[in-house]
């Protein structure tokens, strides 16, 4: 009797799909975050180089990237 009840509850648990879409959205958000970090870091270095070039041409001191 208890075994049948546990088997029924296990089947109900594995048949549920309410949380599946939330997990899929979390995975998509994580992948987007990885892509943003991968592309923004080199872009930031390039922008810093452009500003340093402008500062050097104007006679100012160059700016170094802060270390985290």
The DSSP annotation for 3-67 comes to HHHHHHHHHHHHH--TTHHHHHHHHHHHHHHHHHHHHHHHHHHHHHHHHHHHHHHTT----PPPP
Q: Determine the pLDDT at residue 32.
A: 93
Is residue 34 situated within a structural domain? yes
Report if residue 32 sits inside a domain: yes
C-alpha 32/C-alpha 38 separation (Å) is 10
- Residue 3 located in a structural domain: no
**Domain annotation covers residue 61:** no
Number of domains in the chain: 1
Query: Does the residue 35 lie in any domain?
Result: yes
For 33-61, write each residue's pLDDT tens digit. Answer: 999 888 887 888 888 888 888 888 888 77
Are 19 and 39 contacting, i.e. CB atoms less than 8 angstroms apart? no
- pTM of the shown model: 0.46
Domain-located, residue 9 = no
Q: Tell me which of 66 and 12 has the higher pLDDT.
A: 12
The terminus-to-terminus CA distance of the chain in angstroms comes to 60
Q: Is residue 30 scored above 80 in pLDDT?
A: yes
In a domain, 24, yes or no: yes
Note down the domain range covering 45. Answer: 20-56
Q: Look at residue 25 and tell me whether its pLDDT is greater than 90.
A: no
**11 band by pLDDT with thresholds 50, 70 and 90:** confident
């Amino acid at each position: 009797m208890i075994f049948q009840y546990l088997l029924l509850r296990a089947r109900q648990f594995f048949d549920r799909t309410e949380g599946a879409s939330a997990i899929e959205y979390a995975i998509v958000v994580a992948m987007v975050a990885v892509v943003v970090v991968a592309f923004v870091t080199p872009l930031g270095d390039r922008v810093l180089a452009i500003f340093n070039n402008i500062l050097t041409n104007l006679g100012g001191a160059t700016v170094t990237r802060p270390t985290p």
